[in-house]
Amino acid sequence: MSSPDDDPILTTRDAAQLLGVAVSTVQLWMESGALTAWKTPGGHRRVRLSAVLALRQQRGAPEPDGHDTAYKRQVAAHYPVAEDESLRLAALAETRLLDTPPEEVFDRVARLAAQVTECPIALITLLTTQRQWFKARVGVDLTETPREWSFCSHALAEGKTFVVGDASNDPRFAANPLVVGAPHVRFYAGVPLEDGAGRLLGTLCVIDREPRRLRERELRALRELAAIASDEIKRRR
């Protein structure tokens, strides 16, 4: 089961901003049961992000100013967040892939990614608010890391292939626990994985313990394999 932390708790005002309505309207929806919520011991209403997103989808409401302001206040600003982050999280939940057992279709993609790039580590990652979870992995025993350690957050924020030649000399990553400690990441290349609506859910990435570069044909092969993984994700939605 997914961690409760993957579904942040919002205030009534946060919910109103995401839904594009007045706070009083949200309070009425909560009282009527249209929006599942609860009260804290201090009498303040709280609601899960997933419930707000479900109601917003039912209402066909547009994204509020394209910025997901309420969600962004819920996450620590320790990693980059895309403009559509709350909708991305809802799309990830719809795949029902989080915390599922290994599957050969994804394992094969990860193995091929390691082979064609000659990297010792390859991963298929899915990113929640708190975690970077590995649907497939080659060369590491870890099954997940904290989201703030994730190189893949940068790949999702850029929306394209993201490459770090030497993490130990990159101010964004030099102090990262995955760089200063096991598995001692130096090189990283990640390609975003998307669902049928174009939401970026995670990456196919390869990692080396030595600084390096990929040749264009290796990058092209990595993108092709990422497309195969994305096609499989699209079938799950």
Identify the CA nearest to 225 among candidates 233, 150, 183.
233
Q: What pLDDT is recorded for position 155?
A: 96
214 within 8 A of 116, measured Cβ to Cβ? no
Q: What is the DSSP letter of 196?
A: T
Q: What pLDDT is recorded for position 139?
A: 97
CATH number, domain 4-74, options 1.10.1660.10, 1.10.10.10, 1.20.1050.10, 3.30.110.60: 1.10.1660.10
What is the residue whose two structure tokens read 């809802």? 90
Q: What pLDDT is recorded for position 233?
A: 96
Identify the CA nearest to 134 among candidates 64, 180, 190, 62.
190
Q: What pLDDT is recorded for position 78?
A: 64
Q: What pLDDT is recorded for position 231?
A: 97
Q: pLDDT digit of tens for each residue in the chain (237 aa)?
A: 445 556 778 889 888 888 878 888 888 888 777 788 898 888 889 988 888 887 877 776 655 544 445 445 444 446 788 777 877 888 888 888 989 999 999 999 999 999 999 999 999 999 988 889 999 999 999 999 998 899 999 999 999 999 999 999 999 999 999 999 999 999 999 999 999 999 999 999 999 999 999 999 999 999 999 999 999 999 986
SS (H, E, C) 67-123: CCHHHHHHCCCCCCCCCCHHHHHHHHHHHCCCCCCCCHHHHHHHHHHHHHHCCCEEE
104-236 and 4-74 share a CATH fold: no
The pTM for the full model equals 0.73
**C-alpha dihedral sign at 90, 98, 226, 162:** positive
Question: Which sequence spans correspond to the domains of the chain?
Answer: 4-74, 104-236
Q: What pLDDT is recorded for position 75?
A: 44
Q: HSE-up of 3 (CA within 13 Å, CB side)?
A: 13
Q: How many C-beta atoms surround the C-beta of residue 43 within 10 A?
A: 6
Residues 132, 126: Cα–Cα separation, whole Å = 6
CATH number, domain 104-236, options 1.10.10.10, 3.30.450.40, 3.40.50.11540, 3.40.50.11740: 3.30.450.40
Q: What pLDDT is recorded for position 89?
A: 82
